[in-house]
A = this chain, B = another copy of it.
Amino acid sequence: MRQKNYVPTRLWFLFFCPIFFCLSGIILNAMRLVTDSITLSTRGDADIIDITSQVSALLGRHGFTHGQALVFVSGSTAGVTTIEYEPGLLKDIPAMFEKIAPQNASYHHEETWHDGNGHSHVRAALLGCSLTVPFKDGRLLLGTWQQIVVIDFDNRPRRREVVVQISGE
């Protein structure tokens, strides 16, 4: 009878069950964060580049199934948005930006840098450099005809680093 009042050595492992459950909960289910990037070569002049498949591939590579992908263009002459990536809009969207901020207009930015890309800065500021796309079941929740694009407004070819920061499970 007295033995019942003590913890038998052979049942020690029972103590660890909830601890391992707890640890696996943290490792498997808790939210986590990964920062990666995509490197692009652009032609500049409102070159529009579809990066959807590259963003999507990063979800799988880092083992995410549910969460959000922040796409962020480092630099002040490019932006990010979503469009239907088809040849007509690849002309229409640059035409809209040419109307809003014409390349050959006069910009005060020239007085500082003399590099002829005042229009690029102004357009990029308007479009924005940051886009967050949700995903679930490992799939980006984009529409069927909706692609993630980087638009490079600079007036020359550029190498661009696009940050992709994925958070979720």
Contact = CB atoms under 8 A, between A and B. Distances in A.
A153 interface: no
A83 B127 CA distance: 11
Given A35-B134, A84-B76, A7 B12 contact: yes
Contact of A76 (B83, B96, B113, B132): B83
B83 A108 contact: no
A133 B74 CA distance: 10
**Which one of A15, A31, A92, A110 has the highest number of Cβ atoms from chain B below 10 Å of its Cβ?**
A92
**Which one of A33, A66, A142 has the highest number of Cβ atoms from chain B below 10 Å of its Cβ?**
A33
Interface of A: 3-10, 12, 15-16, 18-19, 21-23, 25-26, 30-33, 35, 66-68, 70, 72, 74-76, 81-84, 86-93, 96, 99-101, 107-113, 118, 121-122, 124-134, 136, 141-143, 145-146, 163, 165, 167-169
